[in-house]
């Protein structure tokens, strides 16, 4: 038995547990940044985390001289900083991991100098991190009192809503929030929900005395008819892939926006024309006013690119620089060559990703992800949310993660 436990390969295999534990802590760190935590059973969660941490600590102490364990010992405490700050108060989950992290950092097989350096850095991280977070929440988080009035889910179960009364200095307000109900991470004893996914679909001032939330289910065709009855000019925003499905190319959706009045006059327009100008609507002479050319294949390029634009585009000498092949930085460099006396752009080259709803067929809407049946919410008789619109406008991009200040509140 002693030979087995003393075998280097046994220790290397067991050291994998150290790595798995460190990775689990990193995943918890990720959750703390992007997800809210909702603990269903604190006692059971605490016992589970404690048992797992004890097993991991025994494995790490046994393999403390292995490289993998040394690396893991340096990862755990820094990864727990966001967890401590953002899940503050969930001590049954936090304390066992912190104790494990401190113990293995002090007793790992790493050199004393390395442990001292890492320990000092971690300590400073916690001190300044806590101080910075305290200052931020003190100055930038609203002190208005919020009260949960009602909550529930849509008929399909894909959306959930909350009604919040906010008491402030302006007689307060009542707001209805809707968020996806399909993006949670669910575990025994605990549930994680994505932060900043709730969308205000209705707000009224002052605080509503009566609240009547009703959900109905309507077909895609019925909702389309209702929306088109409101206006014939309702536009929806599509992705590049969806535009391609409709037969649009990159170039025939290019527009000129925020056009300077002098440049409008040069192409025969006046100040009353405020809408973006489609490049396809201009002739070659008008395009030249903006330094833009059009080839026989209806593709747009920069007529006389400067050395800076050529360098930014990475194009060779004499090669045409097409808008469809350059990034936004290169386009900005091109636009910066056309400035007014106030150093503002005389125009901007942008891509119009909108189409009129009444130009789309029911089959096309279905292919864009609009469900056959739509959840419709009314607040005191007024329609305030349609899952039809949420799907086609991609209200809830649950697959993307973006760091923002909102995640800290």
Three-state secondary structure call for residue 392: helix
Do 371 and 234 belong together in one domain? yes
- Residue 216 CA to residue 376 CA, distance in Å, equals 5
pLDDT digits (tens, 9 = 90+) for 169-192: 778 899 999 999 998 999 999 999
pLDDT score for 342: 85
Domain's final residue, options 85, 110, 140: 140
Report in angstroms the alpha-carbon separations of 10 from 19, 100, 260: 15, 22, 73
Q: How many domains does the chain have?
A: 3
Domain's final residue, options 140, 169, 187: 140
Residue 260 lies in a domain: yes
Nearest to 173 by CA among 138, 140, 209: 209
At a CB cut-off of 8 Å and minimum separation 6, what does 393 contact? 236, 237
Residues of the chain with pLDDT under 70: 1-6, 109-110, 141-143, 404-409
Residue 9 lies in a domain: yes
At a CB cut-off of 8 Å and minimum separation 6, what does 263 contact? 289, 290, 346, 347
Do 233 and 375 belong together in one domain? yes
At a CB cut-off of 8 Å and minimum separation 6, what does 272 contact? none
- Residue 139 CA to residue 142 CA, distance in Å, equals 8
DSSP assignment letter at 218: E
Residue 371 lies in a domain: yes
Give the CA-trace dihedral at 13, 16, 17, 22, to 10 degrees: 160
Residue 358 lies in a domain: no
Instruction: Report whether 190 contacts 38 (CB < 8 A).
Output: yes
Do 127 and 227 belong together in one domain? no
Do 198 and 255 belong together in one domain? no
Do 260 and 230 belong together in one domain? no
- Output the CA angle 304-309-313, nearest 5 degrees: 115
pLDDT score for 406: 66
What sign results for the dihedral spanned by CA atoms 377, 400, 247, 332?
positive
pTM reported for the whole predicted model: 0.76
Do 104 and 27 belong together in one domain? yes
Do 251 and 304 belong together in one domain? yes
Do 215 and 256 belong together in one domain? no
Residue 55 lies in a domain: yes
pLDDT score for 241: 87
- Output the CA angle 238-222-225, nearest 5 degrees: 65
Do 334 and 369 belong together in one domain? no
Do 7 and 135 belong together in one domain? yes
Domain that holds residue 55: 2-140
Domain's final residue, options 140, 157, 173: 140
Do 68 and 188 belong together in one domain? no
Do 12 and 132 belong together in one domain? yes
pLDDT score for 270: 80
């Amino acid at each position: 038995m002693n030979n087995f436990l003393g075998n280097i390969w046994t220790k290397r295999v067991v050291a994998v547990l150290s790595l798995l534990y460190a990775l689990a802590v990193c995943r918890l760190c990720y959750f703390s940044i992007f997800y809210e935590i909702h603990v269903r059973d604190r006692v059971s969660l605490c016992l589970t985390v404690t048992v797992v941490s004890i097993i991991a600590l025994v494995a790490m102490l046994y393999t403390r001289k292995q490289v993998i364990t040394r690396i893991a010992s340096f990862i755990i405490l820094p990864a727990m900083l966001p967890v401590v700050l953002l899940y503050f108060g969930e001590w049954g989950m936090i304390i066992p991991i912190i104790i494990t992290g401190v113990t293995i950092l002090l007793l790992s097989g790493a050199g004393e100098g390395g442990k001292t350096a890492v320990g000092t850095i971690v300590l400073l991280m916690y001190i300044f991190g806590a101080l910075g977070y305290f200052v931020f929440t003190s100055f930038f988080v609203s002190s208005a009192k919020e009260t949960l009035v009602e909550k529930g889910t849509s008929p399909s179960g894909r959306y959930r809503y909350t009604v919040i009364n906010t008491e402030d200095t302006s007689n307060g307000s009542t707001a209805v929030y809707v968020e996806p109900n399909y993006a949670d991470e669910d575990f025994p004893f605990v549930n994680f929900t994505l932060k900043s996914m709730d969308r205000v679909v209705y707000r009224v001032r002052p605080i509503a005395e009566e609240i009547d939330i009703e959900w109905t289910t309507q077909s895609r065709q019925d909702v389309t008819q209702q929306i088109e009855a409101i206006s014939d000019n309702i536009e929806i925003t599509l992705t590049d892939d969806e535009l391609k499905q409709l037969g649009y190319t990159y170039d025939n959706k290019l527009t000129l926006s925020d056009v300077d009045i002098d440049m409008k006059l040069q192409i025969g327009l006046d100040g009353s024309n405020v809408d973006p100008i489609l490049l396809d609507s201009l002739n070659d002479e008008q395009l030249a006013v903006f330094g833009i050319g059009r080839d026989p294949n209806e593709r747009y390029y920069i007529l006389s690119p400067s050395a800076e634009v050529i360098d930014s585009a990475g194009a060779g000498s004499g090669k045409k620089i097409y808008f469809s092949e350059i990034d936004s930085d290169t386009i900005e460099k091109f636009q910066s060559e056309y400035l007014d006396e106030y150093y503002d752009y005389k125009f901007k080259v942008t891509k119009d990703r909108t189409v009129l709803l009444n130009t789309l067929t029911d089959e096309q809407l279905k292919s864009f992800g609009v469900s056959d049946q739509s959840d419709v919410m009314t607040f005191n008789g007024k329609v305030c949310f349609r899952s039809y619109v949420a799907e086609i406008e991609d209200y809830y991009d649950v697959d993307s993660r973006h760091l923002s200040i909102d995640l800290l509140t």
